[in-house]
C-alpha cells in the first residue's frame, strides 16, 4: 500500500523487538467471537489513475461551471482568486492540527487572529471567534448563547431567516427547552415589526433575524434592535451572504452576529465544508462558544498568539461548557482570510457593488416577464420572482438551455405560490440574465443556449 512506509522486513523486525511472532497477537484483546472473520465488502486497492478517472466521471455527471447558475439561498457562487488554493495547499497549513503548541503553530494562530480582526472590521462587532461549522449552526449557537447571557429561555425568530437555519435551530432548541416563536414578513419582505414586538415577552432571550434575509431583502436592523432592547432581549443577526458586507451597512446595533463565510472564497462543494462565525460585544465574550486566539508575549517580550479563554470550552468544562463544539473550520477560515486580503478595503466594496448592479439589472429584466415580489425595501443580490407556471416546470425547460433557474420556494413558503428565489453575483453574465428573463415569459420564446459563464 503506497501510503504505508514500511517494508516487510521492517515489520518483522518490529514484531521481534516487541517480542511477538505475528501482528495478530496485538489484536488478542478483542474477544475472538466478535472479530471479523471475512474480508470487508469493499473493492481492493485502486491505482491513483483509476481513482482520478472514477471521480472525473462523477464530476461529469454533476452540473457545475458549464451552466449559468441563478441559485443562492445560503450558498453563493463567487469567483475564487487562485492564490487561495495555492496558499491553503501548503502542507504546513493543511496537515497541521489545532494549535495546542503555540511555539510551532504560530502560522495558524496568526492567520486566525487576522481572520478575527477582519470579521470584526466587517461586522462592526468587537470580538469574533476562530470559526464554527457553518452559518446554520452559528445562528443556533448564537441563540443558545443569548439564552445564557440573559438567563431567559425562549426566542423569537423571523420567518425570513433561512428555512434550513431555522430547522437546525429547532433541532437544538427542542432539547434545551427553548420555545421558538415565528414572526411573519411584510409585503416589502422585511420582518413584521408590530408582530415582532407582540411576540417578545419577559422570557425572550433574543430575536433572530437575517440580513440580507432569505429573500435578499435588507432588514431595518436598527429598528428591530430598538424593539428587542426595549424589552430586554438581545438581537442576533444572521448573515448568509458575507459579500453583502462590502456595501451594506454592518449590523452594529446587534448584540451577536452569526455569519456564514462561504461567500469569501469557499467552493460551493455541494453544501460544505463552509465556515460559520460568531461575532459579538466584548462584554459577552465569556459566553461565546468556539475557539478564540489572543495576542500575548514570550519572556523576551516578542509578540505571539495563543488559544485563549478556553475555560469556556468542553475539554475543560465538560458538561458545563458553553458548547460541545471542539473542531472549528480553520482551513476554511484561512480561505476566507486570503479572500478578504485579496479584495481588501476597496475590492470588497467594488465586488459587492457589482453584485448590486447585476441584481438591479436582473430585477428590471425579470420584471418585464414575471412579477418580482417584495418591492419597497432595499435588497442585495437575491430576489423572489412569482410566475404563472410552476417554477419547477420552467426550471426544467431552462436546464436544456444550460441555465439553472432560481430555487422553487413552495417547499419552504407555500403561501408564496409559484415563487422562486434568484441570485445574481459578479459571475452572472448579462446574456444569461436576459435569456432567463425571456424563458420566464408566458409567451413562448425561442430557447437559446447560454454559453458558459466567466470561467471559475
List binders of another protein among 351-370 (CB under 8 A): 351, 353-354, 356-358, 360-361
Taking CB under 8 A as the criterion, which residues in 22-51 touch another protein?
23, 26-31, 33-36, 39-46, 48, 51
Q: Among residues 154 and 323, whose Cβ is nearest to another protein?
A: 323
Q: Among residues 195 and 309, whose Cβ is nearest to another protein?
A: 309
How far apart CA 90 and CA 181 sit, in angstroms, is 46
Is residue 151 part of the contact set for another protein (CB under 8 A)? no
How far apart CA 93 and CA 99 sit, in angstroms, is 11
| Residue span binding another protein (CB under 8 A) among the ranges 3-11, 153-161, 194-202, 443-451 | 3-11
Look at the block and give the residue holding cell 487561495.
84
Is residue 449 part of the contact set for another protein (CB under 8 A)? no
Please report, for residues 21, 33, 79, 275, 344, the alpha-carbon distance to residue 129 in angstroms, rounded to integers and kept in the order given.
Answer: 51, 48, 25, 11, 20
With CB under 8 A as the contact rule, the residue among 21, 171, 376, 389 that binds another protein is 171
Taking CB under 8 A as the criterion, which residues in 368-397 touch another protein?
378, 395-396
Is residue 180 part of the contact set for another protein (CB under 8 A)? no
Q: Among residues 200 and 335, whose Cβ is nearest to another protein?
A: 335
The answer to whether the beta carbons of residues 298 and 96 sit under 8 Å apart is: no
Please report, for residues 69, 89, 243, 252, the alpha-carbon distance to residue 340 in angstroms, rounded to integers and kept in the order given.
Answer: 24, 18, 10, 20
Cis peptide before 140 (omega within 30 of 0): no
Q: What is the DSSP string of 86-99?
A: HHHTSHHHHT----
Counting residues that bind another protein (by CB under 8 A) gives: 202
Is residue 117 part of the contact set for another protein (CB under 8 A)? yes
The answer to whether the beta carbons of residues 76 and 263 sit under 8 Å apart is: yes
Query: Angle CA(169)–CA(378)–CA(218) in degrees, nearest 5?
Result: 20
How far apart CA 142 and CA 308 sit, in angstroms, is 20
Taking CB under 8 A as the criterion, which residues in 120-149 touch another protein?
120-122, 126-128, 130-131, 133-137
With CB under 8 A as the contact rule, the residue among 297, 414, 443, 444 that binds another protein is 297
| Residue span binding another protein (CB under 8 A) among the ranges 52-60, 184-192, 224-232, 368-376 | 52-60
Minimum distance, C-beta of residue 95 to another protein, in the bound complex (Å): 4
Is residue 445 part of the contact set for another protein (CB under 8 A)? no
Look at the block and give the residue holding cell 419577559.
202
Contacts of 277 (CB under 8 A, 6+ apart): 119, 128, 129, 131, 132, 138, 257, 258, 259, 260, 261, 333
Minimum distance, C-beta of residue 242 to another protein, in the bound complex (Å): 13
Is residue 448 part of the contact set for another protein (CB under 8 A)? no
With CB under 8 A as the contact rule, the residue among 200, 261, 340, 439 that binds another protein is 340
Q: Chain centroid to CA 450: how far?
A: 29
Is residue 446 part of the contact set for another protein (CB under 8 A)? no
With CB under 8 A as the contact rule, the residue among 229, 371, 397, 429 that binds another protein is 429
With CB under 8 A as the contact rule, the residue among 229, 231, 281, 349 that binds another protein is 349
How far apart CA 336 and CA 399 sit, in angstroms, is 31
Is residue 8 part of the contact set for another protein (CB under 8 A)? no
The answer to whether the beta carbons of residues 442 and 376 sit under 8 Å apart is: no
| Residue span binding another protein (CB under 8 A) among the ranges 151-159, 186-194, 225-233, 307-315 | 307-315
The answer to whether the beta carbons of residues 360 and 375 sit under 8 Å apart is: no
Look at the block and give the residue holding cell 452540473.
63
| Residue span binding another protein (CB under 8 A) among the ranges 187-195, 225-233, 292-300, 441-449 | 292-300
**Residue 295: other Cβ atoms inside 10 A:** 12
Minimum distance, C-beta of residue 408 to another protein, in the bound complex (Å): 9
Q: Among residues 207 and 246, whose Cβ is nearest to another protein?
A: 246
Taking CB under 8 A as the criterion, which residues in 186-215 touch another protein?
none
Write the binding mask 54 to 73 for another protein: x where contact by CB under 8 A, - elsewhere. Answer: xxxxxxxxxxxx-x-x-x-x
With CB under 8 A as the contact rule, the residue among 182, 187, 298, 415 that binds another protein is 298
Amino acid at each position: 500500500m503506497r501510503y504505508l512506509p514500511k517494508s516487510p522486513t521492517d515489520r518483522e523486525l518490529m514484531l521481534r523487538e516487541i517480542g511477538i511472532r505475528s501482528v495478530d497477537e496485538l489484536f488478542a484483546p478483542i474477544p475472538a467471537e466478535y472479530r471479523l472473520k471475512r474480508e470487508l465488502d469493499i473493492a481492493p486497492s485502486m491505482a491513483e489513475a483509476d481513482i482520478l478517472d472514477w471521480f472525473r466521471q462523477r464530476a461529469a455527471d454533476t452540473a457545475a461551471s458549464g451552466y449559468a447558475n441563478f441559485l443562492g439561498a445560503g450558498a453563493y457562487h463567487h469567483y475564487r482568486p487562485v492564490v487561495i488554493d495555492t496558499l491553503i495547499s501548503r502542507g504546513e497549513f493543511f496537515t497541521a492540527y489545532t494549535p495546542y503548541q503555540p511555539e510551532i503553530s504560530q502560522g495558524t494562530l496568526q492567520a486566525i487572529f487576522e481572520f478575527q480582526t477582519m470579521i470584526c472590521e466587517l461586522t462592526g462587532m468587537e470580538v469574533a471567534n476562530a470559526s464554527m461549522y457553518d452559518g446554520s449552526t452559528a445562528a443556533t449557537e448564537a441563540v443558545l448563547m443569548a439564552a445564557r447571557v440573559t438567563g431567559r429561555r425562549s426566542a423569537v425568530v423571523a420567518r425570513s431567516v433561512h428555512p434550513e437555519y431555522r430547522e437546525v435551530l429547532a433541532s437544538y432548541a427542542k432539547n434545551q427547552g427553548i420555545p421558538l416563536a415565528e414572526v411573519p414578513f411584510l409585503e416589502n419582505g422585511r420582518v413584521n415589526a408590530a408582530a415582532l414586538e407582540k411576540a417578545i415577552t419577559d422570557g425572550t432571550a433574543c430575536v433572530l433575524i437575517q440580513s440580507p434575509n432569505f429573500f435578499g431583502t435588507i432588514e431595518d436592523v436598527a429598528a428591530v434592535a430598538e424593539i428587542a432592547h426595549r424589552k430586554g432581549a438581545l438581537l442576533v443577526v444572521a448573515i448568509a451572504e458575507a459579500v453583502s458586507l462590502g456595501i451594506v451597512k454592518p449590523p452594529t446595533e446587534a448584540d451577536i452576529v452569526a455569519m456564514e463565510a462561504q461567500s469569501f472564497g469557499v467552493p460551493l462543494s455541494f453544501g460544505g465544508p463552509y465556515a460559520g462565525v460568531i461575532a459579538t460585544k466584548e462584554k459577552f465574550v465569556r459566553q461565546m462558544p468556539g475557539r478564540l486566539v489572543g495576542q500575548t508575549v514570550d519572556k523576551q517580550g516578542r509578540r505571539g498568539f495563543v488559544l485563549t479563554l478556553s475555560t469556556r470550552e468542553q475539554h475543560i468544562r465538560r458538561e458545563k461548557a458553553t458548547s460541545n463544539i471542539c473542531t472549528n473550520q480553520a482551513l476554511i477560515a484561512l480561505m476566507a482570510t486570503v479572500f478578504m486580503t485579496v479584495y481588501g478595503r476597496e475590492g470588497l466594496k467594488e465586488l459587492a457593488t457589482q453584485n448590486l448592479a447585476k441584481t438591479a439589472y436582473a430585477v428590471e429584466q425579470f420584471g418585464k416577464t414575471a412579477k418580482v415580489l417584495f418591492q419597497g425595501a432595499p435588497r442585495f443580490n437575491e430576489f423572489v420572482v412569482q410566475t404563472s407556471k410552476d417554477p419547477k416546470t420552467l426550471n426544467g425547460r431552462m436546464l436544456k438551455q444550460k441555465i439553472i433557474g432560481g430555487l422553487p420556494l413552495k417547499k419552504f413558503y407555500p403561501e408564496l405560490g409559484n415563487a422562486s428565489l434568484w441570485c445574481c453575483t459578479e459571475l452572472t453574465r448579462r446574456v444569461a440574465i436576459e435569456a432567463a428573463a425571456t424563458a420566464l415569459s408566458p409567451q413562448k420564446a425561442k430557447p437559446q443556449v447560454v454559453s458558459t459563464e466567466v470561467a471559475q
